[in-house]
Structure 1
Amino acid sequence: MNSIFGPVFWLLVTLGVLVTFHEFGHFWVARRCGVKVLRFSVGFGRAIWKRIGKDGTEYQVAIIPLGGYVKMLDAREGEVDPADQGREFTHKPVWQRIAIVVAGPAFNLIFTLVAFWAMFVVGMPDAAPIVTAVPHSMAAEAGVRPGDRVLAVDGKPVDTLSDAYEAMANALLGREPLPLRVRGGDGAERLLTLPLNQLPAGQDIGQYLEKLGIKTAPAAPVAAVVRAGFPAAAAGLQGGDRIVSVNGQPVADFEAFSLLVAAQAAKSPALAIAVERQGKPLAFTVNARMESIEGQPSRWLIGVSPPQAEQVVRRYGPVAAVSASLTATWDNTVSLFNMIGKMVTGQASTKNLSGVIGIAQVANASASMGLAWFLRFLALVSLSLAVLNLLPIPVLDGGHLLYYLIELVKGSPLSERTMMAGQYIGLALLFTLMGLAFYNDIHRSLFL
């Protein structure tokens, strides 16, 4: 998919699935509590499809697919037929109204558990946590070496590269010294400390990660695959050859080799490539050619592919996946509250907020990585929706829940004037957060 259609498509899929499930929670519990549901809408605005169900509810899909709603019979919105008085929302006991409000986030939480469970059953492919440090970076100064395998972050064992990055990203929010246990290529384990307290305040996770300087270890300088019909094969290189130098310049890893090929070919396409084959040194002259593959920008190619990174697949049986899903949901919930708390107290920058543009980009990237990665993405977004909707901000489910809890304590509903004032405050807060997230998305797109 192209760079615009792909993110938009997967954003719509994500919102369509998660918002529908959230609103279905409100709908399902409202019906069980005897509330009359007038409309169940996926999307806002003019309906592009609708029908009246046997239950009398109008089901519709609207033209703006960035949300949805359930419209219930509510005396605050107009006259109610006396025959329907018992099915009106505000007429119901406060505990039933609480159940209806909580149902949306609860269904998002259920979706999170199911998505994580499916992810573990399908099998989550990931790279092994083998890293290196950018020269002169914070990680390099702390002692991270090329080829180190991360074993634990802040005392918590990690098995995959994404787990290692996620643990480090969470720690970066607090900017406190971070213990890191690694195992080097020689098999010896070392305990390092990343001095995150030296990072400047007010930056987002991406900027912190760049300053930290930990990245995936590049592949060894080995021609794992030499493609037929390309210059390297024509010159005589074979799969398994270890690349030693290009035009006399030594090669440390495959990333350095690729950069050297591009730089030297720009001067002259004829490249002197020295390799080692079964312990014997060999030299070849390879005539690189400028070519575009799969619509990518043209670049100098010789037809050599690196060795695949060590892979780790987290896969469980249906029963074991239940426990793994519960653990993943709990860990990510704690991380989410940790991030919110640090933003509220000012320890973490609000630059870490993302809006629909950021979600669309991550949705597209996750979908391109396979089903398990997209399920993980859906689980995380669904969990975020559950938590954010429970924040005590009027217009969100958490704001309504706050009203009903106050009603329980004082024994009577809040005045309509108070509730309306709260709604205006809630809308102002919500639009501020949305505007800030949108600004962050645009800033990242333009300047990063």
Structure 2
Amino acid sequence: MESVPLISGLWDNGLIYIIPFLFVLTIIVFFHELGHFLVGRWCGIKALAFSVGFGPELAGFTDRQGTRWKLAAIPLGGYVKFLGDENAASVPDHGAVDRMSEAERVEAFPAASVGRRAATVAAGPIANFLLAIVIFAGVAFFNGRVVGDPVIAGVEPDSPAAEAGFEPGDRVVSADGEEIAYFSDLQRYVAAQGENPINFVVERDGRQVDLTVTPRMETRTDEFGNSFTLPIVGLRADNTTAGFRVEELGVVQSLEYGVSQTWFVTARTVEFIGQVVTGRQSADQIGGPIRIAQVSGQVSTIGIAALLNLAALLSVSIGILNLLPIPMLDGGHLLFYAFEAVRGRPLSEQVQEVGFRIGLALVTLLMIFAFWNDITGLV
């Protein structure tokens, strides 16, 4: 009888992770594929299927244009299959196109101009960035933005900031000449600099003081036990209600905030990828579905606004990932189209096939690596 409460507990805990994970992933995948679908339709390309998930169809319907909209059993992605595609990865089926009538060929993806194909492919990642902007802006509009003045409440002992001469009560005016209006601006600037020296100007007792500090990479643990490495200077904010306040934003201000947040996340993500490639960051921070599910469940305990912000962060990451110049991904297709535009004709079918095979191998290796990180992280 003791197994019944155990199974019930595992089921309940599983739902804590699964439901937020599916919520976040479905939003991201749907809008990514919707970008492909809408631009493809605007370009006169016929979509045969719009699927959220892979594998057997669970539910669906066919619209007036002949597109099958469906929800599939494996919720780890999605695809739009256009007329003339060999598979869900949009590998062109030239043989099928050659057998089409002239009327059918007009609507086939491989037969479209390189500009229309590029626009259709690029629309997916672009939709991810637009989704992030809308989410960040919407959360800021309805909830306001929590801000705090850039006043130093404390300096951690033996930290880079202590060595540089920071003192409690200092008000940060600028960093490398950039104005610091809020404490979050200070945090974001430090996070973007890595271990590069930063020249600060602080206001102390009515006068300005120049301080130079070099951040130190440290591994920290959040409230959920997740470890991450980031640049640290050792400055603490006043986390009381006296130090922070909620600033209400209008529609235009919210959109500006959404754009700035999306740009910041994009820049930080690209920087992180570059640091992993050059060995300056550990690749063990790359996670897969298990880690995303874990973080989604943890963040959902904070509230719907936090979960939506996580969706925005992941949407940017998915957009960047798909723009990598790897065949099988959107960026790989765009790379092929760039060669086609320069050469005036497509790459040979043999070259494209080799490219897609290499891309499939790279994507598979990345997925295995991400799953391995997920599993070792849980252990």
> What TM-score comes out, normalization by structure 2 length?
0.79
| Corresponding position: 1:193 with 2:212 | yes
1:28 Cα deviation from its structure 2 partner: 1.1
Mean CA deviation greater in 383-392 or 326-335: 326-335
Cα offset, 1:200, TM superposition: 9.1
- Structure 1 CA distance for aligned equivalents of residues 207 and 373 of structure 2: 42
Q: Supply the distance in 1 between the matched residues of 2:188 and 2:12 (Cα, whole angstroms).
A: 28
Q: Which moved more, 1:62-71 or 1:8-17?
A: 8-17
Q: Is the 8 A contact 1:132 1:144 kept in 2?
A: no
Note if 1:324 corresponds to 2:346.
no
Residue 166 of structure 1 aligns to which amino acid in structure 2? R
Match of 1:11 in 2: 21
Paired letter, 2:124: G
Q: What 5-or-longer segments of structure 1 have no aligned partner?
A: 220-306
Q: CA deviation at 1:127?
A: 6.1
Letter in 1 for 2:361: A
Q: Which residue of 2 aligns with 1:99?
A: 119
**Code of the aligned partner of 1:90:** P
CA distance in 2 between partners of 1:373 and 1:160 (Å)? 21
- For residues 3 and 137 of structure 1, do their structure 2 counterparts lie closer, same or farther at Cα, with a shift above 3 Å needed? farther
1:288-311: CA deviations, max 9, x gaps?
A: xxxxxxxxxxxxxxxxxxx65632
CA separation of 1:199 and 1:37: change in aligned 2, threshold 3 A:
closer
* Aligned match of 2:322: 389
Mapped to 2, the partners of 1:159 and 1:4 lie a distance apart of 42
Structure-to-structure mapping, 1:74-89, within 5 angstroms? 74=84, 76-77=92-93, 79=96, 80-82=99-101, 83-89=103-109
Indicate conservation of the 8 Å contact 2:217/2:229, yes or no: no
Over 3 Å counting, the alpha-carbon distance change for 1:373 and 1:313 in structure 2 is: farther
Candidates 395, 398, 405, aligned match of 2:338: 405
SS at structure 2 position matched to 1:74: coil
Q: Is contact 1:125-1:311 (8 Å) kept? A: no
Q: Return the alpha-carbon distance in structure 2 between the equivalents of residues 445 and 180 of structure 1.
A: 40
Q: Offset at 1:199?
A: 5.2
Find out whether 1:135 has 2:196 as its counterpart: no
- Aligned AA (1:49): A
Residue 163 and residue 438 in structure 1: after superposition, are their counterparts in 2 closer, same or farther (change >3 A)? farther
Which of 76, 85, 88 lines up with 1:66 in the alignment? 76
Alpha-carbon distance between aligned partners in 2 of 1:372 and 1:41, rounded to the nearest angstrom: 27
Identical positions, percent: 38
Find the counterpart in structure 2 of residue 344 from structure 1. Answer: 277
Deviations 1:3-35 (A, max 9, x none): 643333222111100110010111112222222
Cα distance, 1:47 vs. partner?
1.1
| Cα distance in 2, alignment partners of residues 215 and 12 from structure 1 | 37
| TM-aligned CA deviation for residue 105 of structure 1 | 1.2
SS for the counterpart of 1:206 is strand
Aligned residues: 351
Residue 216 of structure 1, CA deviation: 4.7
Q: 1:44 to 1:113 in 2, by over 3 A?
A: same
1:411-447 superposed Cα distances (whole Å, 9 cap, x missing partner): 221112111111121122223333333444444444x
Residues 146-204 of structure 1: CA distance to partner in whole angstroms, max 9, x if unpaired?
676655555444455554433323222xx2223345567x78765443333x6599xx9
Given the alignment of the two structures, is residue 170 of structure 1 paired with residue 227 of structure 2, yes or no? no
The residue number in structure 2 matching 1:29 is 39
Instruction: Tell me the equivalent position of 1:432.
Output: 365
Instruction: After superposing the two structures, state which structure 1 stretch, 144-153 or 372-381, moved more.
Output: 144-153
Hey, which bits of structure 1, 4+ residues long, moved more than 6 A?
A: 186-189
Q: Distance in 2 between matches of 1:158 and 1:360?
A: 35
Partner Cα distance (2:316, 2:362) in 1: 21
Alignment of 1:224-235 (within 5 A): none
d(CA) in 2 for partners of 1:182 and 1:445?
Answer: 43
Q: CA deviation at 1:68?
A: 0.3
Matches within 5 A, 1:417-428: 417-428=350-361
Looking at structure 1, the residues matched to 24 and 284 of structure 2 have their Cα atoms a distance apart, in angstroms, of 23
| Offset, 1:381 | 2.0
Unaligned runs of 5+ residues in structure 2 are 1-10, 86-91, 220-225
Structure 2 residue aligned with 1:266: none
* Deviation sequence 1:240-280 (CA, Å, 0-9, x none): xxxxxxxxxxxxxxxxxxxxxxxxxxxxxxxxxxxxxxxxx
Distance 1:393 1:360 in 2: 26
Aligned to 1:319, the other structure's residue is in SS state helix
Residue matched to 1:108: 128
3-state DSSP of counterpart to 2:110: helix
User: 2:173 and 2:310 mapped to 1: Cα distance?
Assistant: 24
- Which amino acid in 1 is paired with 2:189? A
Q: CA deviation at 1:322?
A: 2.8
